[in-house]
Amino acid sequence: MRRYGGFFLIFFSLHAAAVEVIVNRGVAGTSLAQASARALFGMRLAKWPDGRPVQVFVLPDDHPAHIALCKEQLNIYPYQLRQSWDRLVYSGLAQAPIEVATEEALISRVATTPGALGYVRKVKQNDPVKVLHVVE
Amino acid sequence: MLLNRAALPLACALSISSAMAVELGQGVQAHGFLSQSLVYTSDNRMGGNSDDGIATEMREIGGNLSWRPGADWLLSGQALARWAGASDNGDLRLDYGFVDRTLLADGDTSVGVRLGKIKNPYGFYNTTRDVAQTRPGIIMPQAIYLDRARNFFLAAPGIGFYGNHESANGNLSWQVSALRPEVDDPDLTYFMLGRGLGHFSGKASWLGQALLESEGGRWRAGLSLGQMAMKYHPAAIDPFMAGQTRLPTWVLSLEHNTEYWSLTGEFSQTSVHSNGYGNPAIEQDNTTEAWYLQATRRFGGGWQGFLRYDVLYMDKHDRDGTAFAASIPIYRSFPYLRFAKDWSVGVRRDVGRWTWSGEWHHVDGTAWLSPTDTPVRTSVEKWDLLLLQGAWYF
């Protein structure tokens, strides 16, 4: 039974690594509650617990990493995120996340923007960003 | 030359391509939207002479700017021009413009205040009703989001307090606003009085909304509640005196979202309490009732389709309008002015920042048609409406 448990743990870890939430290295902490992650990516929360402003970077709606972020880390569908952004942005209640075209560009924007939050499928060892684990 | 002038802004707009927002510097963003519809009706009119051919006078164009100078401050403004047949002529106006200050943010809970001209939270869709991509169809479900009363409910100068709370079970957001509605609108005067010659002005009003989302928005529920008020300023010679009207109103909203389906229903009642007009017919208390149910299916590849049933009764105690028609001689043949039952089916395709839509309505009643487009005498009870729309936003 324990062997199966180990197997499931490995399987789960691989599965969870389909997309990783990344932040600028100046952002404190190592994990993020799923509710907070939804609020941050949903543009409902504009600052980190230490009071510094958040800057969200995203990939296009149909990018595999974006779909994986929504479904696996935030547990929502991409269309829902799009609808909440549009509702906020066109009534003036919040700003939109900044969209970049590629994961390389996203890493570079997150690395150079204080308070930045984003996601990529795989963070390499020497990428100048920090990974935050989303916990349910 | 004229063509070039027209083409230039369009070309600039398109060069933004699929960028999500235009960043104009640190903390500054710009967004915009436009749409153009084609309208055909079997009878009655919308967006121009839609019963004699294809009407094209239904379009909207808008743009907004926002600036976040720090984590706790946000300044937002949006300008809008809208054309809708004889009832809206494309005048450029301020859609909203306000300062937002976060008063408290401790991670999962935030509270703030907005001051200026603020969009009124009313049902799921009111705040962004002029942005085609955010609507549940080409036209809003008219029963609740009546275009005839649009300006009255859309946005108003005032102060609004808001809050947001995140938890593992869901997200609760709320807003309460004290406002003075903008009501100087010929459509509204017609809507309230029939043929008033004067104009209305807003009185102190309030609106509140609480929205609860659970499981990341799989379930969304909302309650909007408020009371709008206005007073009438008669013309020098006017059949009505300087009366006042209060409109207590509420909307209950519910939505279930799955990967492929969204099921949405909203129900509202608005009471009309008028006095001082010197006219017993106007001063009779009345409650309108409105609801719709919509099923939306996403097919993949940017395609989606919907089916909606939308019902409006101007007087919930006189749903078929017969008592109304019997009491006012000039409306004797027009009980159907007091209700509208609308079946609609539509299809939409999103391609990047573009959205192409088509929808067909079969309507029994004319309660939500603007009498400035469709005079009562020429109105027909049962009619069909075909709409096509192209829309773009960034």
Q: Which structure tokens are listed for A122?
A: 């795989």
Task: Give B285→chain A minimum CA distance, Å.
Answer: 33
Residue A2 located in a structural domain: no
- Answer yes or no: is A44 within a domain: yes
Is residue A8 assigned to a domain?
A: no
Distance between CA atoms of residues B114 and A88, nearest Å = 14
A14, A125 in Cβ contact below 8 A? no
* CA-only gyration radius of chain B, Å: 21
Condensed to tens digits (0 to 9), the pLDDT of residues A57-76 reads 999 999 999 999 999 999 99
Question: Which amino acid makes up residue B317?
Answer: H
Q: How many angstroms away from the CA of B137 is the closest CA of chain A? A: 14
CB contact under 8 A, A47 and B72: yes
CA distance B180 to B79: 19
Contacts of B156 in chain A (CB under 8 A): none
User: Among partner residues A44, A52, A96, which is closest to B164 by beta-carbon distance?
Assistant: A44
How many CA atoms lie less than 13 Å away from B4 in the CB half-sphere? 1
Which one of A90, A95, A106, A135 would you mutate to disrupt binding with B, by most B Cβ within 10 Å of its Cβ?
A90
Task: Give the domains, in start order, of chain B with CATH numbers.
Answer: 27-393 (2.40.160.10)
- State both tokens at B370: 């603007």
* Structure confidence at residue B14 (pLDDT): 41
Among chain B residues, CA nearest to A135: B168
Residue B193: which of B320, B287, B283 has the closest Cα? B283
Instruction: Tell if the CB–CB gap between A83 and B128 is shorter than 8 Å.
Output: no
Contact A86/B18, CB-based, under 8 Å? Answer: no
Number of domains in chain A: 1
Domain assignment present for A11: no
Query: Sign of torsion, CA B127 B133 B136 B142?
Result: positive
* CATH number, residue A103: 3.40.190.10
Within a domain: residue A70? yes
Q: Cα(A86)–Cα(B259) distance, rounded to whole angstroms?
A: 19
Separation CA B154–CA B179 (nearest Å): 12
Residue in A closest to B113 by C-alpha? A93
Q: Are A96 and B31 a contacting pair at CB < 8 A? A: yes
Contact A87 B108 (CB under 8 A): no
Q: How far is B77 from chain A (nearest CA, A)?
A: 7
* Phi, psi dihedral angles at B125 (to 5 degrees): -115, -10
CA neighbor of B359 nearest in space, from B319, B391, B327, B387:
B387
* C-beta atoms of A46 and B259 within 8 A: no
Contacts of B259 in chain A (CB under 8 A): 77
State the Cα–Cα distance between residues B271 and B290, nearest whole angstrom.
12
In this structure, the strands spanning A130-135 and B22-25 are unpaired
Distance of alpha carbon B101 from alpha carbon B96, whole angstroms: 16
Q: How far is B124 from chain A (nearest CA, A)?
A: 9
Q: Check residue A2 and give its pLDDT.
A: 44
The residues, any chain, with a CB within 8 Å of residue B375's CB and separated by 6 or more, are none
CB-based contact B140:B35 (threshold 8 Å): no
Backbone angles phi, psi at A77, to 5 degrees: -100, 145
Interstrand relation of A98-99 and B303-313 (parallel, antiparallel or unpaired): unpaired
Residue B196 confidence (pLDDT): 67
**Closest residue in A to B166 (Cα–Cα):** A35
- In single-letter form, the type of residue at position B267 comes to F
Which parts of chain B sit beneath pLDDT 70? 1-21, 186, 195-196
Query: Residue B215 and residue A77: Cβ atoms within 8 Å?
Result: no
Interface of A with B (CB under 8 A): 33-36, 38-39, 44-47, 49, 51-54, 58, 60, 74-77, 79-80, 83-84, 86-87, 89-99, 136
Backbone angles phi, psi at B187, to 5 degrees: -65, -40
Judged by CB atoms closer than 8 Å, whether chains meet at B64 and A89 is answered as yes
Pick the residue from chain B with its C-alpha nearest to A75. B216
Q: How far is CA B358 from CA B32, B36, B56, B342, in A?
A: 22, 12, 14, 16
Count of Cβ atoms closer than 10 Å to residue B343 Cβ? 13
Please report, in tens digits, the pLDDT of each residue of chain A (136 residues total): 444 444 444 444 444 458 999 999 999 999 999 999 999 999 999 999 888 999 999 999 999 999 999 999 999 999 999 999 999 999 999 999 999 999 999 999 999 999 999 999 999 999 999 999 999 8
Select from B156, B159, B144, B207 the least CA-distant residue to B184.
B156
At B293, list the tokens: 């149910």
Q: Which amino acid makes up residue B85?
A: G
The reply to whether residue B19 touches residue A99, judged by beta carbons under 8 angstroms, is yes
For residue B192, what pLDDT is reported? 77
Nearest to B20 among A47, A83, A99 (CB): A99
Is A125 domain-assigned? yes
| Cα gap A94→B189, rounded to integer Å | 34
Please tell me the distance from the alpha carbon of residue B58 to that of residue B36, in angstroms, as a whole number.
6
Q: How many CB pairs below 8 Å do chains A and B form together?
A: 117
Is A121 inside a domain boundary?
yes
CA distance to partner chain B, nearest, from residue A30 (Å): 15
Phi, psi for B56 (deg, rounded to 5): -120, 0
Looking at residue B271, the DSSP 8-state letter turns out to be: E
Inside any domain, residue A112: yes
Its domain, for residue A30, covers 18-135
